[in-house]
C-alpha cells in the first residue's frame, strides 16, 4: 500500500514563506507531484520532481530526497490568492498516482 503524510493545516502571513512537508512510503517510485486546489475547484498541477534536488518555478519551489522518502513545497512571498489546499502525490511503480490528504494553507493579511 501507499502511505503519504503531510500536515493538515498551516497558517502564514502575507509576504512570508511557508514550507509544506510530505513524507511517503510507496511501492515503487516514478516521480512526485504537487497540486494546488482552491476550495470548490479542481486540482491544478504545480510541480514535478523525479530526481533529488530542488526545482524552482517562480515563487514556488519543490524539493525531493528519494533516499529519505521526503519532499517539500516552498511558497515564497505569500499572497492572499495562495490560500488553498496543497496536495502531495507520488507516482508508483505502476504509474498510478497516490495522493496525500492535502495541506490547507491560510494566508492572513
Partner 1 sequence: IAGITQAPTSQILAAGRRMTLRCTQDMRHNAMYWYRQDLGLGLRLIHYSNTAGTTGKGEVPDGYSVSRANTDDFPLTLASAVPSQTSVYFCASSDEPGQGSNEQFFGPGTRLTVL
Which residue ranges make up the site for partner 1 (CB under 8 A)?
30-31, 33, 41-45, 48, 50, 87, 89, 91, 95-102
Least distance to partner 1, CB of residue 74, Å: 19
Give the closest residue to 47 by CA, choosing from 22, 15, 26: 22
Least distance to partner 1, CB of residue 108, Å: 23
Nearer to partner 1 by C-beta: 15 or 45? 45
Neighbours of 15 (CB within 10 A): 11
Cell numbers that stand for 97 in this block: 498516482
Find out whether 85 and 44 touch, Cβ atoms under 8 Å: no
Least distance to partner 1, CB of residue 73, Å: 15
Amino acid at each position: 500500500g501507499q502511505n503519504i503524510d503531510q500536515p493538515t493545516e498551516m497558517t502564514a502571513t502575507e509576504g512570508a514563506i511557508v514550507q509544506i512537508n510530505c513524507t511517503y512510503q510507496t511501492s515503487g517510485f516514478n516521480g512526485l507531484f504537487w497540486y494546488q486546489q482552491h476550495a470548490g475547484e479542481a486540482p491544478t498541477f504545480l510541480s514535478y520532481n523525479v530526481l533529488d534536488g530542488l526545482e524552482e518555478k517562480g515563487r514556488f519551489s519543490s524539493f525531493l530526497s528519494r533516499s529519505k522518502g521526503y519532499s517539500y513545497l516552498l511558497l515564497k512571498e505569500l499572497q492572499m490568492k495562495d490560500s488553498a489546499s496543497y496536495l502531495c502525490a507520488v507516482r508508483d511503480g505502476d504509474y498510478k498516482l497516490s495522493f496525500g490528504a492535502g495541506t490547507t494553507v491560510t494566508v492572513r493579511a
